[in-house]
């Protein structure tokens, strides 16, 4: 066999083995998930509240809502809540359908209109929250969509948790590699997961009474990362 043919067969063999080599290299990788979490005391709360009213005329319904909401906003400002911490979330107007008798038949018809105005308020003084809620109830607020406690400096905590999550991934990878009789190689990929955190929304009872009692509890913050490592043959002992 001539030399050029031998070289050609050798090159062809290398090309054919390349995918197998890449596949074997791919199988020598380990992907793990690192996690970290921390419970912190909340220092603020977000509440969505508003006013809802019905009337036969749409204009009258919206007029009632606007007047009551004006009183609610005034109470919030009197409580020391900054304008930047009050945000309109929804203003709506919907027909009210009812069953009526018309021409001897039971039919659905519009019998009025319902207007609503919702705002989201950030309360930064948790100790004063019960009094603030009682004030807006007395001012005319009759709709509450929920209350959520949160931690204002969550970014610094998430930075800490991100680092701890990576450390957790490295610890898990070393343990798995050792159990498999392999050595842990360098990092191939590192994917940062979305942070989790914040208390769930909680329903509130609307009570015309003294200050409404609240129990903020704690806020659980967490972070997750995915890391892929190379797996190497364990070094033989000397």
Question: Could you state, in order of their start, the residue ranges of all structural domains in the chain?
Answer: 44-150
| Average of per-residue pLDDT across 167-196 | 92
| Average of per-residue pLDDT across 171-185 | 95
> And the tokens for 196?
């989790």
| Average of per-residue pLDDT across 130-142 | 92
- Residue 98 pLDDT greater than 80, yes or no: yes
- Residue 225 pLDDT greater than 60, yes or no: yes
| Average of per-residue pLDDT across 210-232 | 82
Query: pTM score, two decimals?
Result: 0.64
Residues 6+ apart with CB under 8 A from 184: 30, 173, 174, 177, 229, 230, 231, 232
Residues 6+ apart with CB under 8 A from 143: 49, 50, 51, 52, 116, 118
The fold for domain 44-150 equals Alpha-Beta Plaits (3.30.70)
């Amino acid at each position: 066999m001539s030399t050029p043919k031998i070289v050609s067969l050798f090159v062809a063999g290398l090309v054919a083995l390349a995918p197998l080599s890449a596949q074997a290299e791919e199988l020598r990788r380990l992907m793990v998930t690192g996690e970290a979490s921390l419970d912190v005391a909340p220092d603020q709360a977000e509440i969505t509240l508003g006013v809802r009213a019905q009337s036969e005329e749409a204009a009258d319904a919206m007029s009632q809502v606007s007047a009551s909401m004006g009183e609610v906003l005034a109470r919030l400002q009197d409580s020391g809540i900054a304008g930047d911490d009050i945000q309109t979330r929804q203003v709506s107007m919907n027909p009210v359908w009812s069953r009526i008798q018309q021409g001897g038949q039971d039919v659905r018809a519009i019998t009025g209109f319902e207007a609503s105005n919702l705002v989201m308020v950030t309360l930064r003084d948790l100790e004063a929250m019960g009094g603030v809620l009682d004030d807006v109830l007395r001012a005319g607020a009759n709709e509450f969509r929920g209350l959520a406690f949160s931690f204002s400096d969550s970014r610094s905590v998430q930075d800490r948790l991100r680092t701890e999550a990576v450390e957790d991934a490295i610890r898990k990878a070393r343990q798995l590699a050792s159990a498999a009789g392999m050595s842990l190689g360098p990092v191939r990929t590192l994917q940062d997961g979305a942070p989790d955190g914040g208390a769930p929304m909680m329903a509130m009872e609307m009570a015309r009474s003294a200050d409404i009692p609240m129990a903020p509890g704690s806020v659980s913050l967490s972070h997750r990362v995915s890391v892929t490592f190379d797996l190497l043959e364990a070094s033989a002992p000397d």
